[in-house]
Amino acid sequence: MEWLNIVMTEILKWLLDRFRARNQCPERFLKEYRLAREWHRKARLASSEDDRRDALKDARIAIREAIRSGMPAAPDACVEEWFDAAALAEELEELEYAARAYREVARRRHSDLYVEATLRLTALRARQGQNAEALKLVKKILKSNPCHSEAIELARELTRQEVNEISTGGD
């Protein structure tokens, strides 16, 4: 019974911390992020192509506004929301906004999401053809976690691409 009390206390502490963290996120960021999620959901459920296109347009506008409005005062407390906003922006093909939000999460090295955000930012930069920056980012991941299999694979791919570019004369 004592063990159950300890577990319940820890769960309640976690929930309270989570609630406080949400309350520290900029209000406008949360509002726009929720709106973007709702429009994205409507786009997935849309019955016509026009409705889907309109909902995706509204979702893109909302996610851009969320990231833009939350950027100056993004506290450490809402790292998960930033990560989720970055993932949604990436899914909506708002790649620059996704990169900004992933970078915001990656700045918080103590976060559990630091490596994942840096890895996604690396993949995003590689997809955009910015291999030099992507290689720099993946090296940062490997420095902190030399056995990270996704980072190792991404580093190999980036290095292979770099060698191919050099051997074909930069084309």
Return the H-helix or E-strand segment holding 94: none
pTM (2 d.p.): 0.74
166 vs 116: which has the higher pLDDT: 116
Please report, for residues 26, 108, 163, 166, the alpha-carbon distance to residue 80 in angstroms, rounded to integers and kept in the order given.
13, 11, 36, 39
77 vs 131: which has the higher pLDDT: 131
Architecture of domain 113-171: Alpha Horseshoe (1.25)
pLDDT in tens, 111-134: 778 888 999 999 999 888 888 888
Cα end-to-end span (Å), the chain: 68
- Going from N- to C-terminal start, the domains of the chain cover 1-103, 113-171
pLDDT in tens, 12-48: 887 776 665 555 678 888 899 999 999 999 999 999 9
Across the range 137-164, mean pLDDT stands at: 84
**59: which residues sit within 8 A by CB, 6+ positions away?**
36, 37, 39, 40, 42, 43, 88, 92
Which of 153, 93, 147, 83 minimizes the C-alpha distance to 118?
Answer: 83
